[in-house]
Structure 1
Amino acid sequence: MSRSVPEPLAFPPHARPPADIFFSFFRKPEPAPTKPEPVPVLAQDNLFHPFSKSPFPMLQARGEAIKRIAPCPGAPETAEAQVGKPQVRIFILGARAESSLPVHVWEQLCLLFPAAQLHIFFIGPQVSLPKPETPKPPAQFQPPIPPTDQATQAAGATSPTPDMPPTSDASQPPAPEATVPAKIDPDTVHQNKIAELQNRKEYLPNVFKPPPPMPIDRQKYTRNAVNRYGVPSYTTPYTKELTVTGLRTNYLDVHHLFSESLDPYSDVFFFFSPGFGFPSENSFAEDGITPLPQIASPTEWGSVLPLLLESKCPIFVTGFSPADVERDVRSLSEAPDVAGQFEWVVMPGPNTFSSEKWEISDFDPRVMIKANWGIWAIRGRSKDIQERSMLDGLLPWRQ
């Protein structure tokens, strides 16, 4: 049998290994070959692109699916599509702080509807008007006073003249003597209080009346519109897509200017927390004690709502809390010429675009409010038209 012979060692036994084996432990390892840096799929200057040019295959496939399944029938809205379209008018009644916002805030509506021409009307007794134009008077040239004249004037102002003798304390009129207040009879005060309590009506809540906002800054093309509307007003054609007009008056005073041109398809009314259900300060029920809600008061919103319902234009109303929305909606059934004369456009509910901040109300520190918490909309009740045929009088079941 053949036996395998072991291979000879690299160096004989009991022999000293080569020196390079020991020194190899102290040598620095050779650097590994550098790999090329990966190219980023998206760069900071190339983050947004259409689906068809996306570097991700999944997004490219989505773009192809959109083209195949949902073809777009036409081009999206652009500013060029304004040609031939009527102007959309937005009437904000009872405007207060809304009228004091900068115009560029309202310009955001043009970004949402680029193919619309918007005209916003702020109407109310507390609408903010632009600052009045006060041209600066031209500076008048004053010649310098010679030094000699200055010294003469200073001397004349300090030294008495022969015609005017120096004044003394003796020439001053005597001080008036202090008057003693009359004695008040406590019985008379008590009787007056009793008479005041007997004549006082039932307690009325203190309705908060905020002061008018500060005047707004005048824009480049702001002009006075008193001659057109007959009330303190202004008009600012901010851009070709947006025009803003403010009228400091009640809506009843200018309704005749818009009544014949109101269009349900291009005009809309907005009330931001109008307080339809709040008690009125000026109108009372038949007993003369119970206050009417503001929506039924002839001096407040009672005369405005019927006119708006006749126009069939949509009316959007907001509320600052669930209780405020419920109070305003319930008041619709108590107002004459309003109850049963409207139909719902938007059912009452939370507003998606409401403020996210709860605040303490100005009229009662016990009430928490959130601006435009809820929203609802109504319009004038539509009437169905039925066509009568010649068979209506012949067939008994169609009479």
Structure 2
Amino acid sequence: MEPSIRLATSSVCRSCLRSARRTTAPTHVARNFSGLAYSRRRSTNLTAQSSPISPLRKSFSLFGSAQPKSADDGHSVTTNAPADGEKQKLVLHPDDLFHSYTNSPIPDMRRRAAFIRQHASCPHPDHRIAHAPSDGKAPPVESNGTQPPAHVDFECPDCGIPVYCSEQHWAEDYERHLEICDTLKQINEDDHDLRSGRFFPEFEYAGPQMDEAPVNLLNWDTLLYTRQFEAINDDRSMRQATRLLTYPVTIGSILHELSPYGVRKGDRLTPEGLKSMSALRYTLHPPKTGGGAGIKGLRPEAPPVRIFILGARAESSLPRNVWVQLSHLFPRGKFHLIFIGPESMSNRDDEFPLPPRTPTNPFGAIVEDRVWPTMKISTIVDYYHTLHKTGHFAPYDPYFDCFVMFHPGMGHPASSHEWAETVPLLLETKAPIIVTGYTQYDMERDIEWVNKTCRGEFDMLLEPGENKFRSLRWDLNDLDPQDISCGNWGVWAFRGKRYETMRKDAEEETTRST
């Protein structure tokens, strides 16, 4: 860009400038997002007794890929990212997105079909149960099926996904399949859309928010409008955009002073929750102090709010401009995001090797400073309870600390042992803990486990319910096509119980006055 043009753009609004860039050189800004290893999903136990992998540790590209790394680990990666500067070829047109997985023109989809056929079981009642279903429906005590379990092989012509072992079983159980057939077709088209090679304008995010323009956190439409995002007029593009933004916006919608969660009836925030959230909001919405860049403008500032994201997996590999949206929701707030978990560097092996553990960096933390002027990101590949016992992050302050767990699977038999030592330590901090779930059953199972493990030792801050900023895109479990869910469907929050105390002399004065 010539210097004269660069100076001229300083007086042009952001929307006009973005439109001009797309008009003049669209081929230089087109990006392919299909190679981002972004999301991880649940997987079911491969046998009725046990499974070597956690049901919440299945990892594949959010953008639909299920290319397996091996036949037995339940994980997958994508390898079709174009080289830098390579022109992306349009593979599918917007009106030609429905293809069966087996006959798809995209190799990733064909490999995914083969993976589903190899691992998923036919749900027809004539088959004996091979393993407990993962959709939250309790299996019968005794199965009336006389046929042995069989893998799926027949693709439904309406949704294009292998769902039954034969056409006969599909026809006999068609009425039950109709309950999810339309959703499976939508998943199919969304997966092909992300590999179609088109330009994705929905992944261009808005910049900083003006102080004079408050955001509206009522729902996705009002948020994107008040944040001055480019208009998204297509439902499919809306689903793709919210699948990424659900992670930072879910946190921001709870901590913001204009949060849709209040103490009024039906708004789900409890009185104890108002106390905890008010403390964080006081820090994240500081008053203007009249400070400036010069010496005379120096003012004392509060430290950044630390958000500990525990059990981090795909959220730690999200594009950083997605997490920067959290800073834009709080123009005067400062954040330090800390991803903690043994899988927090999954799908990021090619970025850089893990730093050695030294006296100055005892846990080998990867620090990404100045992701944004008000945001820093750290990643630690370790369990949180190991860090807590060393006092590495102590002391904890309810005004500056918050814990977040995205789909932790605390109540699942295959992963609950990983949290048995962590949750009691979290309660000791008295800081709020925000938890999400894939489905209502997944969320209720986590709550039941916390009630059973820490009964009487915690206060509910946010009553469980559907997340106003859940992902609008549905996901498919490759190990069980009947199991469909969406990212961050439900959200709730709790905290270690705080006991109110009263001084003895004040208590005596109260007794005398009565």
TM-score w.r.t. the length of structure 1 is: 0.50
Q: Pick the structure with more helix per residue.
A: 2
1:215 aligns with 2:349: yes
Q: Identify which range, 95-104 or 79-88, moves more after superposition.
A: 79-88
- 2:495 corresponds to which of 375, 379, 385: 379
The Cα of 1:360 is off from its aligned counterpart by 1.2
1:316 aligns with 2:448: no
- 2:308 corresponds to which of 73, 91, 106: 91
Check whether the contact 1:225–1:234 (CA below 8 A) recurs between aligned residues: no
> For 1:1-399, what aligned pairs fall within 5 Å after superposition?
83-128=300-345, 212-215=346-349, 217=351, 224=355, 226-227=357-358, 228-237=360-369, 238-255=371-388, 256-280=390-414, 294=416, 297=417, 300-335=418-453, 338-362=454-478, 364-389=480-505, 392=508
Partners of 1:82 and 1:319 in 2: CA distance: 41
Check whether the contact 1:273–1:318 (CA below 8 A) recurs between aligned residues: yes
Partners of 2:423 and 2:504 in 1: CA distance: 34
Check whether the contact 1:345–1:377 (CA below 8 A) recurs between aligned residues: yes
What is the identity, as a one-letter code, of the residue corresponding to 1:117? K
Partners of 2:308 and 2:340 in 1: CA distance: 7
Cα gap change, 1:82 to 1:303, in 2 (>3 Å) = farther
The Cα of 1:307 is off from its aligned counterpart by 0.6
The Cα of 1:92 is off from its aligned counterpart by 0.5
Cα gap change, 1:386 to 1:323, in 2 (>3 Å) = same
Cα gap change, 1:77 to 1:94, in 2 (>3 Å) = farther
Partners of 2:510 and 2:299 in 1: CA distance: 53
Check whether the contact 1:78–1:115 (CA below 8 A) recurs between aligned residues: no
> Match for residue 29 of structure 2?
none
Check whether the contact 1:82–1:116 (CA below 8 A) recurs between aligned residues: no
What do you get for the CA RMSD once the two structures are aligned?
3.6
Check whether the contact 1:224–1:235 (CA below 8 A) recurs between aligned residues: no
SS of the aligned residue for 1:122 comes to strand
SS of the aligned residue for 2:307 comes to strand
Check whether the contact 2:403–2:433 (CA below 8 A) recurs between aligned residues: yes
> Match for residue 165 of structure 1?
none
Check whether the contact 1:93–1:271 (CA below 8 A) recurs between aligned residues: yes
SS of the aligned residue for 2:464 comes to strand
Higher Rg of the two aligned structures: 1
What is the identity, as a one-letter code, of the residue corresponding to 2:372? T
The Cα of 1:76 is off from its aligned counterpart by 11
Partners of 1:242 and 1:99 in 2: CA distance: 14
Partners of 1:76 and 1:395 in 2: CA distance: 45
Partners of 2:396 and 2:376 in 1: CA distance: 17
The Cα of 1:354 is off from its aligned counterpart by 0.6
> Match for residue 63 of structure 2?
none
Partners of 1:111 and 1:78 in 2: CA distance: 20
The Cα of 1:393 is off from its aligned counterpart by 9.6
Cα gap change, 1:393 to 1:108, in 2 (>3 Å) = closer
What is the identity, as a one-letter code, of the residue corresponding to 2:501? I
Partners of 2:432 and 2:419 in 1: CA distance: 16
Check whether the contact 1:318–1:325 (CA below 8 A) recurs between aligned residues: yes
Partners of 1:318 and 1:77 in 2: CA distance: 39
The Cα of 1:389 is off from its aligned counterpart by 2.9
What is the identity, as a one-letter code, of the residue corresponding to 1:231? F
The Cα of 1:87 is off from its aligned counterpart by 1.2
What is the identity, as a one-letter code, of the residue corresponding to 2:363? V
| % identity of equivalent residues | 33
Check whether the contact 1:225–1:235 (CA below 8 A) recurs between aligned residues: no
What is the identity, as a one-letter code, of the residue corresponding to 2:394? E
- Deviations 1:256-313 (CA, angstroms, capped at 9, x unpaired): 24452211111101100001110037xxxxxxxxxxxx1xx3xx10110111100001
Cα gap change, 1:77 to 1:356, in 2 (>3 Å) = farther
What is the identity, as a one-letter code, of the residue corresponding to 2:465? G
What is the identity, as a one-letter code, of the residue corresponding to 1:320? Y
The Cα of 1:387 is off from its aligned counterpart by 2.6
Check whether the contact 1:264–1:313 (CA below 8 A) recurs between aligned residues: yes
TM-score w.r.t. the length of structure 2 is: 0.40
> Match for residue 166 of structure 1?
none
What is the identity, as a one-letter code, of the residue corresponding to 2:383? N
Check whether the contact 1:320–1:371 (CA below 8 A) recurs between aligned residues: yes
Partners of 1:98 and 1:236 in 2: CA distance: 15
Aligned length: 227
The Cα of 1:397 is off from its aligned counterpart by 11
Check whether the contact 2:405–2:434 (CA below 8 A) recurs between aligned residues: yes
